[in-house]
Amino acid sequence: MNYKEILENILKNGIPKQSVRFDSNNNPIPVENGTIGTFCEIFRHDMSQGFPLTTLRKMPFKSMCVELEGFIKGVTDKRWYQERGCKFWDEWANPQHVNEITEVKNNPESKNEHQKLTHDLGPIYGYQWRKFNKEYKDGTIGNQKAWFPYDNGGDEKGTDQLRSIVDKLKTNPYDRRMVCSAWNPNQIHLMALPSCHVLHQVVVYGNKLNLTWFQRSCDSTHGVPNNIASYALLLMLYCEESGLEPGELVGVLSDCHVYENTIEAAKELVSRQENKLPTIKIKRKNDGSFSIFEWTWDEVELIDYNPHPPIDMGKVTV
């Protein structure tokens, strides 16, 4: 199925559900908007058919690229994203700090602490990709380390899953264990948002690099189209690093839903016809070299992207 077909199926067959989140004391709280949803939609795309950035509406491609760079680098401070124009994380903060923020925000003497609390996202996606299960401690404020949590003297070094995949692509590309997990039950209570897309796997056949990801929670109007493009770009970055050719991108979308406040916008989306998909070009350094770990969001060019006009998709439900 492609993105439009998934959205059409949810609108046609979605079952109502009122989801909940949990506060810092682990008490359930109903989210602001209910949903209609379906179980386990499968997105599948042959990368030779173009880059799967939907044309049903103009998408924030730059913000998606910034976020992916942040994940690859393990960034856990929202200011890093905001300073590069990505607002995806504006509404979120480390839940351990929610009550503390209220206590300190009106105290002038606690200004720096308040800044630290509101900007800390906890050990989200990139932290798990690069330092899985390493004991988490907030980054410092006011210098380069603000973006990267520092060692706190513990024995746990964490696991760099991303580097393991890159190394295997170069030495043993047919390995069936090129898996990267962002789901860490031991640290969920520290995350601004428990990982929605929880793992991805790279599978190579011949000279084709394929990528599949599993997503537990799938906001199909706001999140999913960005997730599709983000994993497509990650697939392309793996190819650039390894010299392999792009194959297929597959997403297993488990709880696939549309929030009630975005149903009308979703109906407008599916009334449109997809235009021809764009392509992308990944830029190398001036000396011709490339490293996924040194890649930056502005080193990718989106070519021939002709989307329909933007739609007001409504407020993101948090």
Instruction: Supply the residues annotated as catalytic.
Output: 196
- What are the Cα distances from residue 81, in Å, to 65, 148, 275, 306? 10, 13, 30, 26
Amino acid found at 298: D
Ramachandran bin of 146, using left for φ above 0, alpha for ψ from -120 to 50, beta for the remaining angles: alpha
Whether the Cβ atoms of residue 238 and residue 166 lie closer than 8 Å to each other: yes
Whether the Cβ atoms of residue 213 and residue 197 lie closer than 8 Å to each other: yes
Whether the Cβ atoms of residue 122 and residue 192 lie closer than 8 Å to each other: yes
C-alpha to C-alpha distance for 50 and 64, rounded to whole angstroms: 17
23: how many CB neighbours lie within 10 A of its CB? 11
DSSP per position, 237-305: HHHHHHTPEEEEEEEEEEEEEEEGGGHHHHHHHHTSPPPPP-EEEEPPPTTS---TTT--TTSEEEES-
